[in-house]
Amino acid sequence: MTSHDTPRRATIADVARAAGVATSTASVVFSGKASVAAATRERVLAAAADLGYAGPDPRAASLRRGRSGIVAVVLEGHLRAAFLDPVTTAMMDGLTDGLADLSAGILLMRDDPGDDGSPLSNAPVDAVVLIGCSGRTKASLDIVRSRGLPVVVIEGDAGEGIPRITLDNTAAAADVARHLYDLGHREVALVTLPLDTRGERAPVTQERIDTATVEVTVDRLAGMREVFPTAPAISTGSSLIDEGLLAGRTLLADPATRPTAILAQSDLIAVGVIRAAEELGLRVPEDLSVAGFDGIAADGLGDLVLTTSVQPAVEKGRAAGEQVARMLQGEPGLTLHLTCRFREGTTTAPPSR
């Protein structure tokens, strides 16, 4: 090493030397894990300031501690698509809460295989939260398990003793359907979430249900069909207002076959259906009842309050975070089943005919 090398960043050892104390003492000054004489602490801090030392290198600390403080969240598909869904964002918020004590933050990752194996293999994370459960998620799961990382799955079945956070989608969807049934509706149509990643907009056939890969869609559909076994259903490409608008136009086009109520599998879709009704001069709920699912603060609805099933999106995230925290303390992670709560709004009423 000659004197014209790049000036190396100061380390805690340099600071300790400059302050005339042991490195362990300097370390304790920064970590606060033990009490230090005020005078020595001052000397160390002064030396640090002098050398431009900005605290322990997190990389070295992670190695030594065996913890990085980072939890990975694996989403399927583009980030944009994931975050377009208000339920996902609410869940992420809950997750940060549930993780608040131990986590430095949330590492967003796509379950995209990439070139040389998933980045998931090389990320310094302490635990992983998997969201949804496509085929690719399964591959991510294998990597995570072989690394021996704690993992929690939200809305998906990872099998074999992996803790998960689930929703009573089927029962909750049935509740909403029953509400319409009790109001007297018999001519009801359904608008579903995408059945698979292709997201085809088309009538839902039994064959399509059998080959569907999105569990949520199938579960909610099953609940609705418990009450209305023969109700026609149409699938959307994603959970968006404009998707609901398209589906609504299709379903409402022909006055002869027009349903008296439409059940949507998400609030955004329901908002779109309402807009389609307004376009056609139909009043909600007088001429058409519309119900959604999720219970998010739907933007774009104006004064109406949507009849829906409120899912505990934030709690879902928080629960996942808490299970991760438990597992990091060595306790086993628990599988939790959360329940939705029916909420009657102003978009449903008895049929007029």
- Kindly list the residues in this chain that would bind a second copy in the complex (CB under 8 A): 9, 32, 52, 54-63, 66, 68-70, 72, 78-80, 83-84, 86, 89-90, 92-93, 96, 103-110, 116, 119, 121-125, 143, 146-148, 240-242, 245, 268, 271-272, 275, 279, 299-302
Q: Which of 2, 4, 7, 39 binds DNA (CB under 7 A)?
A: 39
Instruction: Tell me if 40 contacts DNA by CB under 7 A.
Output: yes
Residues 293 and 311 sit within 8 Å (Cβ to Cβ): yes
**Mask 90-119, x = binds DNA (CB under 7 A)?**
------------------------------
Query: What, of DNA, a second copy, none, does residue 134 touch, CB below 5 to 8 Å by kind?
Result: none
Closest CA to 224 of 183, 176, 257: 176
Question: Does 33 participate in binding DNA (rule CB under 7 A)?
Answer: yes
- Which one of 32, 52, 66, 229 is in contact with DNA (CB under 7 A)? 66
Cα distance between residue 343 and residue 180, in whole Å: 12
Which letter does DSSP use for residue 338 in this model? E
Q: Quick one: what does residue 8 bind among a second copy, DNA, none, with the CB cut-off 5 to 8 Å set by partner type?
A: DNA
Q: Can you point out the beta strands (E) in the chain?
A: 70-75, 105-110, 127-131, 151-154, 164-167, 188-192, 233-235, 261-264, 289-291, 308-310, 336-338, 341-343
Report the residue from 3, 5, 6, 21 that binds DNA according to the rule CB under 7 A. 21
Shortest approach of DNA to residue 221 CB, angstroms? 46
Helix/strand/coil (H/E/C) assignment for every residue in 196-244 = CCCCCCCECCHHHHHCCCCHHHHHHHHHHHHHCCCCCEEECCCCCHHHH
Q: Which entry of a second copy, DNA, none binds 242, CB below 5 to 8 A by partner kind?
A: a second copy
Please report where in the chains the tokens 């629960």 appear, as a residue: 319
* Closer residue to a second copy, CB minimum distance, 218 or 284: 284
The only residue of 46, 49, 50, 60 in contact with DNA, by rule CB under 7 A: 60
Beta carbon of residue 106, minimum distance to DNA (angstroms, whole number): 22
Asked if residues 300 and 328 have their Cβ atoms less than 8 Å apart, the reply is: no
Among 45, 51, 56, 249, binds DNA (CB under 7 A): 56
Decide whether 21 or 325 has the Cβ nearer to DNA. Answer: 21
- The nearest distance, CB 327 to DNA, in angstroms, is 18
- Report what 211 binds from a second copy, DNA, none; CB cut-off 5-8 Å by kind: none
Question: Can you tell me the distance from the alpha carbon of 104 to that of 120, in angstroms, rounded to the nearest whole number?
Answer: 18
Beta-carbon contacts of residue 216 (< 8 Å; ≥ 6 apart): 155, 167, 169, 193, 265
52 touches DNA (CB under 7 A):
no
Closest CA to 163 of 17, 287, 319, 344: 319
What's the N-to-C CA distance of the chain in angstroms? Answer: 91
Q: Of a second copy, DNA, none, which one sits near residue 283, judging by CB under 5 to 8 A according to partner kind?
A: none
